[in-house]
Amino acid sequence: MIERYTLPEMGRVWSDQHKYELWCRVETLVLEAHAAAGRVPAEVVEPVRNAPPPTPERVAEIEETTQHDVIAFLTAWADNTEPRSAAAYVHHGMTSSDLLDTALAIQLTDATDVLLDKADRLVAALRDHGLAHRSTIKVGRTHGVHAEPVVWGHRVADLAFAAARSRDRLRAARDAVGVVAISGAVGTYSLIDPSVEATVAEALELRPADASTQVVLRDGISEWVSALAIIATVCEAIALEVRHGQRTEVRELSEAFGSGQKGSSAMPHKKNPIRSERIAGLARVVRAAIVPVMEGIPLWHERDISHSSTERVFLPDAAITTDYLLNLTAGLVENLVVDADRMRANLESTGGLIYTSSVLLELVEGGLSREDAYALVQTAAMETWNSGVPFRETLRARAAASSVTLDEARLDEICRPERYVANLGPLFDRLAALS
């Protein structure tokens, strides 16, 4: 992922230098387990443990000849080991994927922990914002068209619970990828004792694979990437709400606009929802990882390498992009500008059409058939749409023409936006308890 969208903590998780540090850690744990069991000389452990990780530049230089990254790493690390002869016992009984998959599990779980911290921040931001606007009346929209009155906090609560569920899916996916496999060339422990795998897993606070061939089956990694894609898409749902709310015709919401910020090189008046649009664009990048990574599940027999190049691109990019998205979305919510007066004005802009559902039921409860009540209300509503005459006036005229008596006092009662949101108390109680 380009540096523009890479935050430092997540960038380090996926850096080449950190990867080689993890490879050294895994190889050292395996060597220590062998030595403890008496399978390799105990005196080789300390020199290997003290050998500094090779630089990415040195590994790349050797790989130009070997065309094999693990062998290049082992050679470069052996060159850093004093005495070099101690390195002869490194990688003892292992295959490359024992190292690669186990180190990848560390990266994936470390990346997940970074993401979970940011997901907690987003959930908290949405919860607090939703509670702050539990009484902020606005119009609800279905198909983009005014529907019934709602409160802004209700929509935010929906997004808060979605963000929390997405975070919890990621937490479950962490267990799916936190798997150690050190089982040899085809997964049969032919040259390495299963106890080594168990010992290394315990040291890393991960779990041994239930079974592995030369690799761990990629269903767990696919689950993890899918969890990231859901998080990214929930971020996009939040951003989409802001993008709509910042449209000139709506103007109910807006991103924070800082002193000195510019919206357009040509039009000085512009205040564009650039953060929200960036969220929408980057969510596509994360979703794009699902299919390529999932196609790493079917490999030839005990293993082929077709998944490797895909994962080298998509796993870091998906993690880095989701990390950036969570940070950007949390900041968007924390600094969101809400225009409650504009929300109220928009709600009233259709002349009372937002109350048709209550009027329909009131007429039915007064004795009209649903069909007759619907026809009367719809006819009045269409006249309001076409003429701009307030709905209560068109309704009164249509009712008179149909010899239907209206209870004006009762209509005054039901044509209040607060009546539509009176039952939301338990929802906001649940939101307040969200953590």
| Residues noted as catalytic | 143, 264
d(CA 76, CA 60): 10
d(CA 119, CA 166): 9
DSSP state of 300: S
Long-range contacts of 249-253 (CB under 8 A, 24+ apart): 250/342, 250/346, 251/339, 251/342, 252/138, 252/152, 252/338, 252/339, 252/342, 252/343, 252/346, 253/336, 253/337, 253/338, 253/339
User: Which residue type, as a one-letter code, is found at position 292?
Assistant: P
Written as six digits, the tokens of 357 are 């559902």
d(CA 264, CA 286): 28
Q: How far is CA 292 from CA 105, 169, 184, 287, 309, in A?
A: 19, 20, 26, 10, 10
d(CA 287, CA 232): 8
DSSP state of 178: -
| Contact call for residues 386 and 350 (beta carbons, < 8 A) | no
> How far does Cα 19 stand from its chain's mean position?
24
d(CA 301, CA 287): 28
d(CA 394, CA 388): 10
User: What is the per-residue DSSP string for 34-54?
Assistant: HHHTTSS-GGGHHHHHHSPPP
| Contact call for residues 72 and 189 (beta carbons, < 8 A) | no
Which residues 6+ apart lie within 8 Å of 299 measured at CB? 215, 218, 306, 307
| Contact call for residues 323 and 228 (beta carbons, < 8 A) | no
d(CA 107, CA 15): 10
